[in-house]
């Protein structure tokens, strides 16, 4: 879907029938003043109560049929609006899921959430009102003018003069407020971003006693939003009083001219009342039209913002599966560099290494040295800005994402679980996994004991982001989720930081026993977690400071030796830790 409006093609019938039934209702409403005029001029004047009763019956019939038309119009309009917004929301969500991490980082999570929720809800409301009222109100306005001409052309000239003036006022105000609503939504993004950031980091804010500062910053953004909304609303608020004033002036002129013509016998009293009724209908419909236009203007601004998300380019994927090279290294980095979008310097610079099938590769370095950036290049989460990353001899850019990531089990630095059950979370790793495979993965991840202690075991509830579990339990479940896939490449990105040393040691031993031909990448701050790796990569400021075994690096790499000694003091490689 390249354009949001193309989604309306699925609701062409509803988009026609909704306004059509509203026009039928409007047509019946235009007949009401004529019936009232007939009651006054014929029934009341002649005191013909039978005629009055008959005409009242016609009024009731007009009301009942009009109600049926209105409900039918509402049904089709709501069906089109809800269906359209659902399709757009589905399309935007699917598009966001296809965006690269770089695009998502650049756009911002809070912005994407606002587009998917508030903006699309506003589009839904705007479309619903548009289908029901945007054609009906002009139809009533011009229809009332035409009906006035059928009564008396002299009095109808008041309509001819006032209607263009009213439309000029309405649309001048609308055109001036349309760009302001876009700015209001931009300010709303800022408030949403601040809210999300503070709720996610509430513990950090309180730990540093920064509540007052963050509240002040939130108030600053909130007040900016408030001022913009008030300014925009003040301009919009001019619609009602100006419209009422013009209509009331026109009504006064209409009553005065009608009274004169009644006195000279050119008009009946009921006809004057009908003319005033038509003027009242115009007043009501213009107010509706003004409010409708404001809502539709907001909806159009929101739709443009949603379209902006759909316009974000998705990185092209190869259409055919990659043909792997037999005997090639499982993972190979050839002079790889990485610079994040908007960054001033490379996060990784000229990284080269190879990892054979079944090898265990440790990655260590100080905070910010580029450890996570390195392993995030393997599943092609980010595009290398220099060099190539190869899996089984094939550049990762030549793999379709599904084929590439099916080979990889990823345990991210931050343990992420989804609301559901332990079983449903494990099935993310392998949708057709059996219970035996689940228990095997849980046992290897050192999670079996605490899962068996739960009353419902695999069917125990996991709340959003696993907030009903401890940090260590969340980490072990995410490791089990990756292990159940039995991937060719397993990446543990500092995924055991919440585990004690004994549990961490048992976990590493269990993973080594299960791995077989699995190439294992372990990112860790602990040298104890890596010293048994076949090769250790030492990163410093995004560069490869050294690579080799634990013993080799103690002798040849000052950076690694410094990290080791900071954790184990002056113990030598021959001690129990080596």
CATH code of the domain containing 152: 1.20.1560.10
- How many Cβ atoms from other residues are within 10 Å of residue 559's Cβ? 18
- Distance from C-alpha of 264 to C-alpha of 258, rounded to nearest angstrom: 10
User: Is residue 273 located within the same domain as residue 342?
Assistant: no
Report which of 56, 258, 247, 235 is spatially closest to residue 162, judged by C-alpha positions.
Answer: 247
CATH number of the domain within which 392 lies: 3.40.50.300
Q: Please tell me the total count of domains within the chain.
A: 2
Q: What is the DSSP string of 361-374?
A: EEEEESTTSSHHHH
Indicate whether 466 belongs to any domain: yes
Whether the CB-CB separation of 236 and 294 falls below 8 Å is answered with: yes
Give, in degrees to the nearest 5, the angle at Cα 481 between 475 and 487.
Answer: 120
User: Is residue 244 located within the same domain as residue 343?
Assistant: no
Indicate whether 427 belongs to any domain: yes
pLDDT score recorded for residue 68: 93
Model pLDDT for residues 137-179, shown as the tens digit of each residue: 888 888 888 887 888 777 778 878 887 887 788 778 777 776 7
User: Is residue 198 located within the same domain as residue 126?
Assistant: yes
Residue 320 in tokens: 């055919």
pLDDT score recorded for residue 194: 80
Indicate whether 83 belongs to any domain: no
Long-range contacts of 323-328 (CB under 8 A, 24+ apart): 323/394, 324/391, 324/392, 324/393, 324/394, 325/392, 325/393, 325/394, 328/390, 328/392, 328/393, 328/394
Strands 360-365 and 519-523: parallel
Three-state SS at 394: strand
pLDDT score recorded for residue 574: 40
Query: Which range marks the domain in which residue 234 is found?
Result: 97-310
pLDDT score recorded for residue 3: 66
User: Is residue 306 located within the same domain as residue 338?
Assistant: no
- Distance from C-alpha of 131 to C-alpha of 459, rounded to nearest angstrom: 47
User: How far does the chain reach from its first CA to its final CA, in angstroms?
Assistant: 58
User: Is residue 412 located within the same domain as residue 541?
Assistant: yes
pLDDT score recorded for residue 64: 92
Rg (CA), the chain: 35
pLDDT score recorded for residue 498: 65
Residue 483 in tokens: 């292990």
231: left (phi over 0), alpha (psi -120 to 50) or beta: alpha
Residues 6+ positions from 175 with CB-CB distance below 8 Å: none
User: Is residue 375 located within the same domain as residue 285?
Assistant: no
Indicate whether 573 belongs to any domain: no
Report which of 257, 245, 256, 247 is spatially closest to residue 278, judged by C-alpha positions.
Answer: 247
Give the residue ranges of the chain where pLDDT is below 70: 1-4, 178, 497-498, 514-516, 569-578
Q: Tally the residues of the chain.
A: 578
Residue 223 in tokens: 């007040």
pLDDT score recorded for residue 462: 85
């Amino acid at each position: 879907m390249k354009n949001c409006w193309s989604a309306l093609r699925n609701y062409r019938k509803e988009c026609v029938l909704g306004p059509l039934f509203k026009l039928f209702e409007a047509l019946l409403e235009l007949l009401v003043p004529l019936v009232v005029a007939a009651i006054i001029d014929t029934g009341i004047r002649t005191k013909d109560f039978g005629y009055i009763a008959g005409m009242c019956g016609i009024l009731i019939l007009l009301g009942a049929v009009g109600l049926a038309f209105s409900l039918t119009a509402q049904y089709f309009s709501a069906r089109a609006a809800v269906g359209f917004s659902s399709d757009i929301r589905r399309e935007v969500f699917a598009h966001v899921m296809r965006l690269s991490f770089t695009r998502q980082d650049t756009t911002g999570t809070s912005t994407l959430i606002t587009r998917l929720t508030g903006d699309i809800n506003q589009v839904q409301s705007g479309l619903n009102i548009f289908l029901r009222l945007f054609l009906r109100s002009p139809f009533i306005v011009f229809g009332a003018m035409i009906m006035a001409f059928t009564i008396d052309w002299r009095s109808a000239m008041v309509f001819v003069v006032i209607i263009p003036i009213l439309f000029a006022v309405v649309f001048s105000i609308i055109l001036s407020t349309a760009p302001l609503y876009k700015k209001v939504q931009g300010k709303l993004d800022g408030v949403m971003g601040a809210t999300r950031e503070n709720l996610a980091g509430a513990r950090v804010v309180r730990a540093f006693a920064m509540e007052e500062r963050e509240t002040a910053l939130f108030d600053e953004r909130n007040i900016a939003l408030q001022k913009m909304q008030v300014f925009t609303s003040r301009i919009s608020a001019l619609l009602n009083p100006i419209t009422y004033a013009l209509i009331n002036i026109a009504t006064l002129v209409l009553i005065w001219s009608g009274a004169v013509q009644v006195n000279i016998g050119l008009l009946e009293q009921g006809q004057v009342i009908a003319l005033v009724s038509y003027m009242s209908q115009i007043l009501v419909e213009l107010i509706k039209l003004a409010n409708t236009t404001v809502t539709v203007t907001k909806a159009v601004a929101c739709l443009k913002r949603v379209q902006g998300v759909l316009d974000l380019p998705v990185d092209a994927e190869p259409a055919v599966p990659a043909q792997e090279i037999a005997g090639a290294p499982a993972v190979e980095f050839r002079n790889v560099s990485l610079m994040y979008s908007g960054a001033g310097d490379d996060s990784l610079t000229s990284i080269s290494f190879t990892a054979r099938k079944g090898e265990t590769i440790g990655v260590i370095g100080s905070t910010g040295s580029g450890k996570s950036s390195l392993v995030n290049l393997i599943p092609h989460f980010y595009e290398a800005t220099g060099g190539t990353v190869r899996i089984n001899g094939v550049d990762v850019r030549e793999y379709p994402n599904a084929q590439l990531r099916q080979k990889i089990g990823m345990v991210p630095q931050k343990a992420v679980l989804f609301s559901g059950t332990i079983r449903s979370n494990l099935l993310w790793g392998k949708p057709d996994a059996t219970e035996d495979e689940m228990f095997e993965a849980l046992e290897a991840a050192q999670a079996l004991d605490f899962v068996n202690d739960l009353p419902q075991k695999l069917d125990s509830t996991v709340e959003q982001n696993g907030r009903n579990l401890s940090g260590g339990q969340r980490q072990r479940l995410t490791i089990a989720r990756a292990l159940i896939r039995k991937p060719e490449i397993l990446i543990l990105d500092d995924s055991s930081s919440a585990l004690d040393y004994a549990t961490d040691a048992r976990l590493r031993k269990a993973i080594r026993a299960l791995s077989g031909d699995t190439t294992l990448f372990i990112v860790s701050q602990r040298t104890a977690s890596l010293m048994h790796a076949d090769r250790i990569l030492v990163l410093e400021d995004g560069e490869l400071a050294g690579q080799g075994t634990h013993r080799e690096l103690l002798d040849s790499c000052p950076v690694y030796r410094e990290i080791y000694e900071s954790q184990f003091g002056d113990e030598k490689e021959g001690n129990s830790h080596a």
